[in-house]
Amino acid sequence: MLGPVFNREATVAPKRSSTYLARGIYLLTLFLLLCTGYLVLDGSRSLFANSDAAKFGGWMFRLLAPLELVILSALAAVSAASNVAQEKDRRTLLLLLMTRLSGFEIVVGKTASALLTPLSLLVVSLPLFLTLPLLGGVAPSQVFAVFLVITVSVIVSAAVGTVVAFWREKTFQSIALTFLVLLLLVAAGEILASSTLASTVWATAISPPRALIAATNSKSNLATVLQSGAGWFVIMGSIVSACVLAIGIAKVRVWNPSREVRLKAPEPETSEEYLRDLSAAGVATEGGTEAIREKPHVEGPASWKVRQPRHVWDNPILWREVRTWAYGRKILLIRAVFVLMFAIIAGAIWYQVQSGVAMEPSGRIGRAFPAVTIPMAALGVISLVLVNALAVTSITGERDGLALDLLLVTDLRPREFIFGKLFGVMYAAKELILLPLGLIVYLGVAGVMTIENMQYAILAAIGLYVFVTMLGIHSGLNYVSGRTATLASLGTVFFLCVGIAICMTIMVSFRGAFQLQLAPFLVMILGGGAALFAALGWRNPSSAIFTAAFALPLITFYAITQFLLQTDHLYVAAALIFGYGFTTAAMMIPALSEFDVPLEVEPSDSPAELSA
């Protein structure tokens, strides 16, 4: 019904072992989170009373529902954008456009293909969520309403990711614009909610987090829930998805192939300046311009339009990253959208500082830290994700464009390539890095944090930026498929950021002795270490990567505990700098020694060619 593009993916996906592995790991992770929350709460109170069990079920439901919304929506957006971007990088999209496939079959087929994995994960997790009403505090109608909201949010994310990827030419542009557009919808919902009381319904209709909150707080039947703000979000999300897909269907053959690759033949020059050039070259020009138009076009040395050669630095990789438009001129649009997002968050922080609520507790979940922490952390996560996406696509773009093969046969040294990409990516993303750091400086000057803590925060932030940049380069070099490299790199960043948020939420919600909660979180720490080792060292495992993978979650847990205990923040900054710095070195040092890069081999190659 959706065409051969979707039919192929639906036929191939069940044959991959990774399909079933991802479902099992996802369901096991949610179950371990449920067990961890139980163990943390059991350390401070008993769950024998029905009221305590009901409170526990409600708390875990409000924790797991937003987690699933963030993970599945991000997975759908990245999968959709990277799937189309990979087709463009490998020039296979042109083959699809030359067939008889309609725009509906191409655009909707790609969107539905990207929805296979997140929607299957959503269905797999439904039985686990339906066990929460058995504890009390949660109604089955709330579970189904939440799943309906998450389904619509996933569809919107996939539709936006697919259409934006068809519109833009570069992989980074597609992924970054997809994230920023979805985040702007959330920001618009928050602005509407804070403007007037009458706009609350509209804010819920366009904001997935607010629609999810409305669905979790309503305890009526499903029909009543859908008549509230959650129902308006389902309707509005369906309309937005249909409109976005309709635009993509109508424009897919207009946007592609890109106008940048269409060359225009130069017109012959017949000006007086050209005649003077011919005369200087010794060519007869009797008859003036009309005679030149009638005679064959003759060029002389003086008429050659040769651009002056540009001086290339000793490191040509760094020169290309800094002095050319390596990621396309449309990266200016991404910078502008990020600046808009930064202005919104900075305005909210400025209002909190001026009104004096910046240091007040931010609700039940955030009562352990001030209100200004949440918008600042959101801006930091957005910046880290975008920098990591730029780093990984800087390598996958070279690989998919067959330029990496040419670089490997030159006399370019590995350290020139690695440091060129590392500093080049950070230069290209300078606005994404400097603006959050400038906001930290503002908080220190405004007195929200001490100057000492401001310095610690800046040093820790710089360490994280270097880590995510090197992580993207490492993933791009070690994964043959550009889509797999993007998912692995961004998935690692999401795992670390979401893992920190989950640990903080569980610790604060089930308040107890923070220093005694290592045992309940031990399974999560070991599982996170195994996942990191699988992502970072699956191809070239080493003792350094093994140590970094299992030590990083433990060091992060220690930093979280020290932060919540409000001890000296020097310990927090030192732990983060040491942990993420050691992991960065574990990825960087092997890459500096040699070009150990896997190259894709065409399936049609014969054994003799492979031996050669």
| pLDDT over threshold 50, residue 610 | no
Mean pLDDT, rounded, for 432-440: 94
Mean pLDDT, rounded, for 361-388: 78
Choice between 478 and 510, residue whose per-residue pLDDT is larger: 478
Tell me the pLDDT band of 538, cut-offs 50, 70 and 90: confident
Minimum mean pLDDT among 35-49, 272-286, 465-479: which range?
Answer: 272-286
Q: Is residue 316 part of a domain?
A: no
Q: Is residue 472 part of a domain?
A: yes
DSSP summary character for residue 362: E
Q: What is the pLDDT of residue 189?
A: 86
Choice between 331 and 602, residue whose per-residue pLDDT is larger: 331
Tell me the pLDDT band of 286, cut-offs 50, 70 and 90: very low
Tell me the pLDDT band of 278, cut-offs 50, 70 and 90: very low
Q: Say whether 413 sits in a helix, a strand or coil.
A: coil
Q: Is residue 317 part of a domain?
A: no
Number of structural domains (the chain) is 3
Q: What is the pLDDT of residue 136?
A: 82
| 467 vs 479: CA distance, rounded Å | 18
| pLDDT over threshold 80, residue 438 | yes
Q: Is residue 117 part of a domain?
A: yes
Of the candidates 427, 461, 426, 468, the residue with the CA atom closest to the CA atom of residue 441 = 461
Same domain, 253 and 333: no
Tell me the pLDDT band of 469, cut-offs 50, 70 and 90: very high
| pLDDT over threshold 50, residue 478 | yes
Angle subtended at Cα 184 by Cα 182 and Cα 188, rounded to the nearest 5 degrees? 125
Give the DSSP H or E segment for 308: none
Of the candidates 565, 494, 508, 563, the residue with the CA atom closest to the CA atom of residue 62 = 508
| 510 vs 399: CA distance, rounded Å | 47
Same domain, 51 and 151: yes
Same domain, 253 and 283: no
| pLDDT over threshold 80, residue 122 | yes
Mean pLDDT, rounded, for 314-337: 86
| 269 vs 274: CA distance, rounded Å | 6
Same domain, 282 and 377: no
Note down the domain range covering 15. 4-258
Q: What is the pLDDT of residues 20-36, one digit of tens each?
A: 999 999 999 999 888 88
CB atoms within 10 A of CB 128: 14
Same domain, 103 and 227: yes
| 120 vs 126: CA distance, rounded Å | 10
Tell me the pLDDT band of 362, cut-offs 50, 70 and 90: low
CB atoms within 10 A of CB 11: 10
Tokens coding 224: 């009543």
Q: What is the pLDDT of residue 605?
A: 39
Same domain, 370 and 446: yes
| 407 vs 422: CA distance, rounded Å | 16
AA letter at 588:
M
Choice between 512 and 315, residue whose per-residue pLDDT is larger: 315
Q: Is residue 265 part of a domain?
A: no
Same domain, 276 and 237: no
320 burial class (0-12, 13-18, 19+ CB within 10 angstroms)? middle
| pLDDT over threshold 70, residue 293 | no
Choice between 280 and 590, residue whose per-residue pLDDT is larger: 590
Mean per-residue pLDDT over the chain, rounded:
82
Same domain, 146 and 116: yes
| pLDDT over threshold 70, residue 590 | yes
| 225 vs 212: CA distance, rounded Å | 11
Q: What is the pLDDT of residue 54?
A: 86
CB atoms within 10 A of CB 452: 13
Same domain, 236 and 281: no
Q: Is residue 209 part of a domain?
A: yes
DSSP summary character for residue 236: H
Mean pLDDT, rounded, for 164-192: 89
Same domain, 193 and 285: no
| 290 vs 293: CA distance, rounded Å | 5
Give 423-480 as a DSSP string. Answer: HHHHHHTHHHHHHHHHHHHHHHHTTSS-HHHHHHHHHHHHHHHHHHHHHHHHHHHH-S
Tell me the pLDDT band of 457, cut-offs 50, 70 and 90: very high
Mean pLDDT, rounded, for 375-400: 90
- Please give the radius of gyration of the chain, using alpha carbons only, rounded to the nearest integer: 27
Give the DSSP H or E segment for 305: none
Q: What is the pLDDT of residue 574?
A: 92
Q: What is the pLDDT of residues 545-574, one digit of tens each?
A: 999 999 998 898 888 888 877 767 888 899
Q: What is the pLDDT of residue 528?
A: 85
HEC assignment per residue over 104-157: HHHHHHHHHHHHHHHHHHHHHHHHHHHCHHHHCCCCHHHHHHHHHHHHHHHHHH
Q: What is the pLDDT of residue 265?
A: 43
Same domain, 15 and 95: yes
Minimum mean pLDDT among 61-75, 143-157, 179-193, 420-434: which range?
Answer: 179-193
The proportion of the chain whose per-residue pLDDT surpasses 70, expressed as a percent, equals 83
DSSP summary character for residue 363: T
DSSP summary character for residue 220: S
Minimum mean pLDDT among 179-193, 377-391, 416-430: which range?
Answer: 179-193
Same domain, 48 and 155: yes
Q: Is residue 612 part of a domain?
A: no
Give 6-31 as a DSSP string. Answer: HHHHHHHGGG-HHHHHHHHHHHHHHH
Q: What does each C-alpha distance from 93 to 104, 257, 259, 297, 389 come to in angstroms? A: 15, 9, 15, 39, 22
Last residue of a domain, one of 235, 258, 281: 258
Q: Is residue 557 part of a domain?
A: yes
DSSP summary character for residue 297: P
Residue corresponding to tokens 């009458």: 198
Tell me the pLDDT band of 274, cut-offs 50, 70 and 90: very low
